Amino acid sequence: MVARHIRGDRRYPLVLMLEPLFRCNLACAGCGKIDYPDKVLNARLSVDECVGAALECGAPVVSVAGGEPLLHHEIDQIVSGLIKHKKFVYLCSNGLLLEKKLDLFKPSPYFTWQVHLDGGREEHDHAVSLPGTYDKAVSAIRAAKARGFRVNINCTLYSGAAPQKVAEFLDQVKALGVDGVTISPGYAYERAPDTEHFLNRRNTKLLFREVFQLGRGRGWNFTQSSMFLDFLAGNQSYRCTPWGNPTRNVFGWQRPCYLLGEGFAPSFKALMEETDWDSYGTGNYEKCANCMVHCGYEPTAVLDTLSHPLKAAAVALRGPRLDGPMAADIPLDGQRPARDVYAKVVEDGLKQIEAKGGAETLGSRRQRA
């Protein structure tokens, strides 16, 4: 990554977002990732397709998401295949199947569990619309740590999150011995069951300033760069870098980013060279107006760190600034209006699935889930 930056490469990936399936065993109110017909939900990427995407893309890190990846009956082979090529693999899971599947995996410096928890018991179970999920996830975390696995938490915050409750939750997961926390505001998926509880940019910054203020001296270990945390606190005027975390799923290479699916490219090269990147992002497109999510802005923060190491070092030493004026935000008056492309995306996606032999149905192979 440093070498490519020094060479002056304009666009290159940092993390591959790999979705080997969309099927999930939860139906979270704020999720817009699983609203597809059964033929799409039953489709799977093969082991070869997953490993091939990582090699084609070249990113050093692969985040295996979904859907729930542990529903994929070859997920262990996908992970081992990626590790064989020295990829750092973060396997995302809601934790419901994690203890059952632990025997399929081995601890490795290249492997980390990324468990989804959106707050304490009450907050998380409400967010995922299923009581008892928090306790199962915590039990799975303890089991994984007991076997020597690295475990991170992925936490998404929504409108109405109470800073004190967030602080208490971060204390709880620290006590669990997790290796780090990835924290971010939720993205306003247009097809999420609940679209009323997403944060706007102003409220995101105010919330994170309060949370970070409460965190002074409490030793929370965030996995993100100091510059991204400073951005969440309203101190950086960043534009997103959607090609930094490209997405490969059952449809192909998703345009333009992990959160927003408005088309697909047949190859990584086509994604990078043929996507109209200037049509997307805050200030350019209405659907991106309030986004401050890490998959788009963490690459920007990393690039800023490489370009301005002394500034980044100062922020890392003192932490995000939590008072005073915020950085100027991106004006929205020139953004193009949102387009409803869902039907076209699904139609084109189904053609891709059918072209490679049709979706694998849940009954076509014996599932080990």
How does pLDDT run across 141-193, given as a tens digit for each residue? Answer: 999 999 999 999 999 999 889 999 999 999 999 999 999 999 999 887 777 66
CA 53 to chain centre: 17
Once rounded to an integer, what is the mean pLDDT over residues 13-37? 89
From the list 12, 7, 39, 9, the residue with the least C-alpha distance to 23 is: 39
- Mean pLDDT (the chain) is 92
How does pLDDT run across 122-143, given as a tens digit for each residue? Answer: 999 999 999 999 999 999 999 9
What domains appear along the chain, each with residue ranges and CATH number?
Answer: 13-355 (3.20.20.70)
Residue 368 pLDDT exceeds 70: no
CA 103 to chain centre: 25
How does pLDDT run across 237-268, given as a tens digit for each residue? Answer: 999 999 999 999 999 999 999 999 999 999 99
262: enclosing H helix or E strand = strand 261-265
Return the pLDDT at 360. Answer: 46
CA 239 to chain centre: 17
Once rounded to an integer, what is the mean pLDDT over residues 345-355? 89
Once rounded to an integer, what is the mean pLDDT over residues 71-86? 98
Asked if 55 contacts 85 with a C-beta cutoff of 8 angstroms, the reply is yes
Q: What is the DSSP string of 210-244?
A: HHHHHHTTS---B-S-HHHHHHHTT---PPP-GGG
pLDDT band per the 50, 70, 90 thresholds, residue 356:
confident
Once rounded to an integer, what is the mean pLDDT over residues 193-203? 80
7: enclosing H helix or E strand = helix 2-7
Return the pLDDT at 34. Answer: 75
Tally of CB atoms within 10 A around 343? 8
Residue 60 pLDDT exceeds 70: yes
The two tokens of residue 173 are 């997961």
Query: Over pLDDT 90: what percentage of the chain?
Result: 82
The values of phi and psi at residue 16, to 5°, are -90, 125
153: enclosing H helix or E strand = strand 150-157
Return the pLDDT at 365. Answer: 41
Q: Model pTM? A: 0.92
pLDDT band per the 50, 70, 90 thresholds, residue 33:
confident
Distance between CA atoms of 22 and 6, rounded to whole angstroms? Answer: 37
Return the pLDDT at 362. Answer: 37
